[in-house]
Amino acid sequence: MNLIDIIGPVMIGPSSSHTAGAVRLGLLAASILGGQPVKAEINLHGSFAETYQGHGTDMALLAGLMGWTPDDERIPEAARFAAAEGLTYSFKKIDLGNKAHPNTVLFKLTSASGSYCEIIGSSVGGGQVKVTEIDGFPVELTGRLPAILTVHIDTRGVIALVTGTLANAGVNIATMRLFRSNKGGMASMVIECDEAVTQEILNLIGALQQIESVRFIASVL
């Protein structure tokens, strides 16, 4: 726990969960996509779905997708700026089931290059966030530290190859989480690092035979 966990974030808006957390969810989603989207379908679950207009969650999510921070004074006018920047968007109410956190959003994002990504994340209180699924793969991303996300074949030696590449490049690992669908199938790995990972390092990891994809995800806190 640090000081920001105790006193809460500096932000525009009435609620740390519905505004500051929502902005950070948008920031994290855009980072996962690889840049600002040009099209966003924003699906809201639970409390987000019921109060998103009154609490400004809709504007906060758009602000994050455009790269703004929670203390940006433009947040109440995010819709106007989104239109000016060519970001088309829609909001829908969905039911993700009883196991989903009440402040959960499913992003369906498209970039200017045509890449597409589906991201499920939640605002868990105090401006803190957690992404739990990317393109159907379970993950756990908080945005506290820069991270890399791999999708790879679940086979022996993959973890050693990736961590060895990071070590050889002088990157220190802070945390690491592994997820897999089944033994020998596809798996994902989230590695949070003490420093940003360069494109050169990502290219080295991506060139490993067992790696299907790798992406860098910037810190949003």
Q: List pLDDT tens digits, range 24-45.
A: 999 999 999 999 999 999 999 9
Quick one: pLDDT at residue 4?
Answer: 44
pLDDT at residue 13 is higher than 60: no
Fold of 147-217: Alpha-Beta Plaits (3.30.70)
Structural domain boundaries of the chain?
3-135, 147-217
CA within 13 Å, CB half, 109:
31
- Is residue 70 within 8 A of residue 9, CB to CB? The reply is yes
Quick one: pLDDT at residue 117?
Answer: 95
Q: Which of 98, 142, 135 is closest to 120 using CA atoms?
A: 135
Q: Which of 108, 178, 121, 175 is closest to 145 using CA atoms?
A: 175
Quick one: pLDDT at residue 7?
Answer: 36
Instruction: Give the class (CATH, top level) of 3-135.
Output: alpha beta
Per residue in 110-130, pLDDT (tens digit) is 999 999 999 999 999 888 999
Single-letter residue type at 194: D
Per residue in 150-184, pLDDT (tens digit) is 999 999 999 999 999 999 999 999 999 999 888 98
**Average pLDDT score, the chain:** 90
CA–chain centroid gap for 151, Å, is 15
Residues recorded for the chain:
221
Band (pLDDT 50/70/90 cuts) for residue 18 is low
3-state secondary structure of 127: coil
Terminal CA-to-CA distance of the chain, rounded, Å?
Answer: 13
- Is residue 104 within 8 A of residue 40, CB to CB? The reply is no
**Rounded CA Rg of the chain:** 17
Specify the pTM: 0.86
Quick one: pLDDT at residue 179?
Answer: 92
d(CA 147, CA 218): 6
